[in-house]
Amino acid sequence: MEHPVDETPVVPEPGTARLSDLEAQLGYTFRNPLLLRRAVTHRSYTNEQPEPRPQHNEALEFLGDAVLEFLISSWLLEKYPLESEGTLSKLRASAVSAPTLQKLAVLHNLGDHLLLNRGEEKTGGRRKAALQANAYEALLAAIYLDGGIDVARDFVRREFASIIDGLDPHDLTATDYKTALQERLQARGFPAPRYNVLESAGPDHQRVFRAEVTVAGHFLAEGGGRTIKGAHQVAASNALKGLDELLEKLKAAQS
C-alpha cells in the first residue's frame, strides 16, 4: 500500500537563506548550521518565539570573547616574545576592542544577518555597534565549537592580520580608551565620564586596583589594573564595548 506524499511546501526559517551567504563571506561552512544560527540570534528574537524557544547568542559571546583573547595573546607573544606583560596586554586590548570587532562585523555585513525582534528592528538594531560586536564574538565561538581550535586560529589570523601588523609596541597612543570614551560620550551629548577607585588589594609591590566609570551619575563599567590609571583605562575599554546600548537605556530613563 502506497502512502500519500506530503506535498506541503517546506518554508525555511527566517535567516536561513542569508546564512549560506554569510558562510561564503567567512570562507567557512558549518557542519552544524544551528551553531551559526544561534550566533546571529539576539535575545530579543528568542523572547518572542513560542516554546521551545531557540537559543540566543549571549553564552556564545562569552565564549567567543575568551577564545579571541587566548588566540590574540598567543599570537602577540609569538610576534613580540621580549615585550612586557603590560605592553602585550595593551596591544591585545587594542586588537580586540569593541570598535575593531564592530568594523569586522560590518565587513561581513553581520548586522544584516541578525535575528531581532520588531522593537530592535525599529530602533536600528542591525546597525548598533554593540550588537554587531557581540555577534562577532558569538560567531567566533560558533566556529570554534564547530571546527575546533585550529580552525578558529586560522580564522582569527585571516581576520586580524592587518590589525596585528598595524600595532606598534613602542607607540601605544592608540590604546587610550579614556580619551576615546570621552569623545564618544560628548558626541552623543553626554558630559565627561567620571572615574572612582572602588578598592585596592594586595601588597604594595603587587597592588591591584578596581575602578568604575560613570556618566551623569550612571554606572557604565568597571575594570582592574596594576595602577589606578591602568584600572581607569580598562574600565573605559569595557564601557566602549556596549556603549551604544548603555546610552540608549540612559536616554530612555531620562525621558
Q: What is the pLDDT of residue 8?
A: 35
Q: What is the pLDDT of residue 220?
A: 92
In DSSP terms, 187 is beta-bridged to: none
146 has catalytic annotation: no
Q: What is the mean pLDDT of residues 72-78?
A: 96
Q: What is the mean pLDDT of residues 125-150?
A: 91
The full set of domain ranges for the chain reads 13-170, 176-255
All three cell numbers of 225, joined, read: 589594573
Q: What is the CATH number of domain 176-255?
A: 3.30.160.20
Q: What is the mean pLDDT of residues 128-139?
A: 88
243-254 vs 129-147: helix axis angle to the nearest 10?
140
165 has catalytic annotation: no
Q: What is the pLDDT of residue 150?
A: 97
Q: What is the pLDDT of residue 94?
A: 81
Q: What is the pLDDT of residue 17?
A: 44
Confidence of residue 13 (pLDDT cuts 50, 70, 90): very low
Confidence of residue 189 (pLDDT cuts 50, 70, 90): confident
Average pLDDT of every residue of the chain: 84
CA 132 – CA 137 distance, rounded (Å):
9
> Mind listing the pLDDT tens digit for each residue in 209-252?
889 999 988 899 998 877 787 788 888 888 888 788 888 888 77
Which of 120, 137, 212, 222 is catalytic? The answer is: 137
Running DSSP on this structure, what letter comes out for residue 53? Answer: P
High-pLDDT (> 90) share of the chain, %: 36
Per CATH, which fold does 13-170 belong to? Ribonuclease iii, N-terminal Endonuclease Domain; Chain A (1.10.1520)
CA 224 – CA 231 distance, rounded (Å):
4
Region of 223 (left: φ > 0; alpha: ψ -120 to 50; beta: rest) is: beta
Q: What is the mean pLDDT of residues 167-193?
A: 79
Which of 61, 65, 146, 222 is catalytic? The answer is: 65
Q: Which of 70-79, 191-200, 212-221 has the highest mean pLDDT?
A: 70-79
Instruction: Name the pTM for this structure.
Output: 0.65
Phi first, then psi, for residue 208 (nearest 5°) are -120, 130
Cell 595573546, located at residue: 73
pLDDT higher than 70, residue 3: no
